[in-house]
Structure 1
Amino acid sequence: MGLLYALLVGAAAGWLGGYLMKGGGFGILVNIIIGIIGGMLGNWALGALGISIGTGILSDIATGAIGAVIILFIAGLLKK
C-alpha cells in the first residue's frame, strides 16, 4: 500500500510541479519520478528551513510539488 501511495502522490506532485514551471506535465512516468524525487528534496529543504506544512496527503503533495519545482528550476538553469 505504501508503494501505491508513493506513486500516486509522486504523480500528482510531479504533475503540479510541471504545471507550475512549464504549464503542463511531462508524461505520467516522468511526473512520478520527478514527484518522488521532489518529495525527498522538499522534505529535506523544508526540514532544513524548519518549515512544517502539516500532515496528510495534501501536505505530501504540496511538499513533493515544492521539491519538483526546485528540480525543474535547476534543470532549466542547466539547460541554458
Structure 2
Amino acid sequence: MLVYLISFITGAVVGYIGSKLFPGQGWGVIANTIVGAVGGYIGNAYLAPFFHSFENVYLENAVPAAIGGTMLLLVVMFAFNHDTGGD
C-alpha cells in the first residue's frame, strides 16, 4: 500500500511542477497533476524492478514514479498542445 501512495504522490508532484514550469501546455494544473499521478503509478509498475539496488524504500519507488510521471506528462503536453503558433 505504501508503494502505491509513494508513486501517486510523487507523480502528482511531478505533474504539478510540470504545469507550473510550462504554463499553457497540457490541460491545466489539476489535470496535469492527475496525469502525473497516473504516470507515477505506471512508471513504478514498469521501472521499479530496475531500481531495487536502492537501500531506501522511498527512493526505490519514488525514482521510477518520477520518471514515469515525467514521461507521461511530456507525452500529454506534446500530444495535446493547444498553441496554434499563429500570428
TM-score, with normalisation over the residues of structure 1?
A: 0.61
Instruction: Provide runs of 4+ in structure 1 moved above 3 Å.
Output: 24-32
Alignment of 1:21-60 (within 5 A): 21-23=18-20, 26=31, 32-41=37-46, 43=47, 47=50, 54-55=54-55, 56-60=57-61
Of Structure 1 and Structure 2, the greater helix share is in 1
Cα deviation code 1:35-77 (max 9, x no counterpart): 2112235x18xx5xxx877242223112111111011001111
**TM, length-normalised to structure 2:** 0.57
Q: How many residues align?
A: 72
- Distance of 1:67 and 1:79 partners within structure 2: 18
Residue ranges of structure 1 left out of the alignment (5+ in a row) = none
Identical aligned residues as a percent: 18
SS at match of 2:15: helix
Whichever of the two has the greater Rg, that structure is: 2
Q: Secondary structure at the match of 1:54?
A: coil
Runs of at least 5 residues in structure 2 that lack an aligned partner in the other structure: 21-28, 82-87
